[in-house]
């Protein structure tokens, strides 16, 4: 007998009160902000030695043929962040299959804007670092990324009355931006590629796909089934990806793309079910822990901060994220809308788009990750990159707030006037 949605009560688990609070856009952004501020305090206080000792402590094992001996910081970046990328992968597949990105007309403009928002910051960074310190150009992709959690949180706080189309535009742009960032990581930050490990990963991935697609009702009915059956396969896949030379977070995306987005046995597809179930883990644990171990940098007082700000790496990141995102997103949008059939939603005004583009300059999560992949741990270039990412993200948030707050008041007055009619 075919199962019906009514017979599958386990499809959606009700969030606890704590999960409801911290999975909102505003609170998830605040949690990330706290997680980024704390390591800066520790790294520049009497607790700095303890912080760096814990971050650089090795945990795990190395069998030679399978190396899983990583520092605590690496476990956070390579391991926990794979959970975040799994969530991103679920969103990407759903958007490209049945969401806004499945429609060429609706997706064309924000997709083009995303590419412009990646290319222009990368170009600005490269130009500034062309004659910079040796190896500095390796960070060209750092200002290319937009942090979905932070950007959406800022927009939620300051733009309650802004057009819904503007938030949709930002979400679509950020999703495509993440896809580009994932591709960049997979192609440009892969060292000593070992194809044997990738070939071996096909086995657990195939079994993962078979269970997710052919035994979907197991995971819709039981919250525990995914932990018992799919999680071990996911860990094996992750370990093989890590040893293949491809950054391990890509495994999260690869596994997410194997999860079906259409369901024959439940009201919600398995992709939506997994996103609902595991979003609290990503939001409340994986991202904050990654931020805690990635944002810590010993600035060295005011003189050290000025030294970081004036470095070509930090300048390239700051100009790339703050200026490059605005030019890249608004400029590309203007160019693409000159084409027939590529129209900007009439609810979005150009001044709104410019403000949203400023908010898109909040890099943080993926920018910090790429910074760690670009430069050696503890090197001056990596420290300068972290300062650049954190400073640029703060400036972008403030600039976006300044630009969009008056617009929010304007739309609020329009809504109030409409209610009084």
The number of domains in the chain is 1
pLDDT for residue 24 is more than 70: no
Do the domain assignments include residue 239?
A: no
Which of the two residues, 139 and 295, has the higher pLDDT score?
139
pLDDT tier at 101, thresholds 50, 70, 90: low
pLDDT of amino acid 6: 38
pLDDT of amino acid 395: 95
Which structural domain range is residue 46 located in? 16-191+247-415
Query: For the segment 260-316, what is each residue's pLDDT rounded down to a tens digit?
Result: 988 776 677 888 888 888 888 888 898 889 889 988 888 877 888 889 899 999 999
Do the domain assignments include residue 204?
A: no
Percentages helix, strand, coil for the chain, rounded to the nearest 5? 75, 0, 25
pLDDT tier at 243, thresholds 50, 70, 90: very high
Mean of per-residue pLDDT scores for the chain: 86
Query: For the segment 34-45, what is each residue's pLDDT rounded down to a tens digit?
Result: 888 898 899 888
DSSP-H helix ranges across 189-230: 195-214, 216-221, 223-225
In this structure, what token pair is assigned to residue 211? 């269970």
DSSP-H helix ranges across 129-230: 148-158, 164-188, 195-214, 216-221, 223-225
pLDDT of amino acid 2: 37
Do the domain assignments include residue 214?
A: no
Do the domain assignments include residue 241?
A: no
pLDDT of amino acid 5: 39
CATH code of residue 157:
1.20.1530.10
Q: What average pLDDT does the segment 227-236 reach?
A: 92
pLDDT for residue 79 is more than 70: yes
Q: What average pLDDT does the segment 332-339 reach?
A: 91
Which of the two residues, 358 and 145, has the higher pLDDT score?
358
Q: State how far the Cα of 302 lies from the Cα of 88, in Å rounded to an integer.
A: 37
Phi and psi torsions of 71, nearest 5°: -75, 165
Q: State how far the Cα of 83 lies from the Cα of 279, in Å rounded to an integer.
A: 9
Do the domain assignments include residue 334?
A: yes
pLDDT of amino acid 125: 97
End-to-end CA distance of the chain: 55
Among 219, 183, 206, CA closest to 11: 219
Tokens 């190896």 belong to: 135
10-14, 25-29, 159-163: least confident range: 10-14
> What pTM was estimated for this model as a whole?
0.83
Do the domain assignments include residue 10?
A: no
Do the domain assignments include residue 278?
A: yes
Q: What average pLDDT does the segment 75-81 reach?
A: 90
Do the domain assignments include residue 2?
A: no
3-class state of residue 377 by DSSP: coil
Tokens 């194997």 belong to: 258
């Amino acid at each position: 007998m075919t199962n019906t949605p009514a017979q599958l009560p386990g499809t959606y688990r009700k969030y606890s009160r704590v999960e409801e609070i911290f999975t909102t856009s505003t609170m998830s952004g605040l949690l990330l902000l706290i997680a980024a501020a704390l390591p800066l305090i520790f790294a520049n206080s009497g607790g700095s030695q303890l912080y760096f000792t814990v971050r650089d402590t090795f945990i795990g094992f190395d069998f030679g043929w399978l190396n899983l001996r990583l520092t605590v910081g690496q476990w956070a970046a390579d391991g926990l962040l794979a959970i975040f990328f799994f969530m991103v992968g679920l969103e990407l597949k759903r958007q490209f299959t049945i969401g806004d990105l499945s429609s060429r007309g609706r997706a064309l403009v924000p997709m083009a804007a995303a590419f412009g928002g990646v290319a222009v910051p990368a170009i600005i960074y490269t130009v500034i670092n062309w004659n910079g310190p040796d190896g500095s150009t390796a960070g060209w992709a750092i200002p290319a990324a937009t942090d979905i959690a932070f950007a959406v949180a800022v927009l939620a706080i300051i733009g309650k009355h802004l057009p819904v189309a503007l938030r949709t535009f930002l979400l679509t742009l950020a999703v495509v931006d993440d896809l580009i960032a994932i591709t960049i990581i997979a192609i440009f930050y892969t060292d000593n590629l070992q194809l044997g490990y990738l070939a071996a990963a096909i086995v657990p991935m195939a079994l993962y796909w078979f269970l997710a697609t052919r035994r979907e009702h197991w995971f819709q009915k039981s919250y525990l089934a995914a932990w018992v059956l799919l999680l071990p396969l996911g860990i094996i896949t992750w370990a093989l990806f890590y040893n293949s030379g491809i950054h391990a977070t890509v495994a999260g995306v690869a596994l997410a793309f194997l999860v079906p987005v259409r369901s024959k046995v439940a009201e919600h597809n398995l992709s939506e079910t997994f996103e609902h179930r595991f979003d609290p883990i990503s939001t409340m644990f994986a991202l904050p822990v990654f931020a805690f171990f990635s944002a810590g940098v010993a600035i060295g007082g005011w003189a050290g901060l000025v030294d970081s700000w004036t470095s070509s790496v930090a300048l390239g990141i700051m100009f790339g994220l703050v200026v490059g995102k605005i030019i890249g997103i608004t400029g590309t949008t203007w160019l693409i809308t000159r084409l027939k059939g590529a129209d900007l939603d009439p609810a979005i005004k150009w001044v709104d788009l410019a403000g949203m583009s400023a908010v898109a300059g909040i890099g943080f999560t993926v920018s910090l990750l790429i910074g760690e992949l670009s430069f050696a741990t503890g090197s001056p270039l990596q420290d300068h990159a972290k300062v650049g990412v954190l400073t640029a993200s703060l400036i972008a948030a403030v600039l976006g707030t300044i630009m969009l707050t008056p617009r929010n008041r304007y739309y609020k007055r329009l809504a109030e006037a409409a209610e009084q009619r």
